[in-house]
Amino acid sequence: MRRRGLILGAAGLAGAFGFMMGLGTWRGGDPPPPRGGEGARDGERMDLSRMAWELTDDHGTRVAPRDWLGQASMVFFGFTWCPDVCPTTLMDISGWLDDLGPDADRIRVSLITVDPERDSPQVLGEYLSNFDPRIRGLTGSPEDIAKAAAGFAVKYERVPRDDGDYTMNHTSGVYVFRPSGALSSIIDFHEDRQFAVPKIRRAIE
């Protein structure tokens, strides 16, 4: 499958360094808390219970942040035509879930697209079939995506390419939430993998 080759091809991963350099200012440490959006208020931490977005998953089911309360959650933003950062993150997450063993069933994992024009539920489902089956994809209208991104203080932008197509720049951290909906931690793209699973376990416990 051509898409599988794009996702898992060594050439795409070899180009990661240059792409990450272009997004470096979006990857350094935790993103700032949102200002006046649907997420954390001034002086408060990001919390799913304060968000009000609604999206559609790759099974066609409507999903709201209230649906995630009561179980730990792991969320990140990306898109299916991402050349390296997103597939690398998805492979990392698949590995973390393996490392968690039975505890992996105690955390919900979601990819929210920043490219709703191309990422329909069906496209997300096909793309995510290359990774751990517990990872769900979420999409919606451009307005829906903007509302969700504001809740997580995520930045993204469409960037034209010389060939007339486009790519998407976006915040790359993985957000980890406790069952209460409170933010537990953020796993940075550059972070040493050995720290990721302990962060996830803290959210589950």
Annotated binding site: 82, 86, 170
Question: Which residues 6+ apart lie within 8 Å of 161 measured at CB?
Answer: 167
- What are residue 156's DSSP bridge partners? 170
Burial of 177 (0-12, 13-18, 19+ CB in 10 A): buried
C-alpha to C-alpha distance for 91 and 183, rounded to whole angstroms:
23
The packing angle between helices 196-204 and 85-100, to 10°, is 60
- Beta-strand relationship, 174-177 and 72-78: antiparallel
Q: Which residues are annotated as a binding site for Cu cation?
A: 82, 86, 170
Question: Which residues 6+ apart lie within 8 Å of 49 measured at CB?
Answer: 65, 66, 69, 180, 181
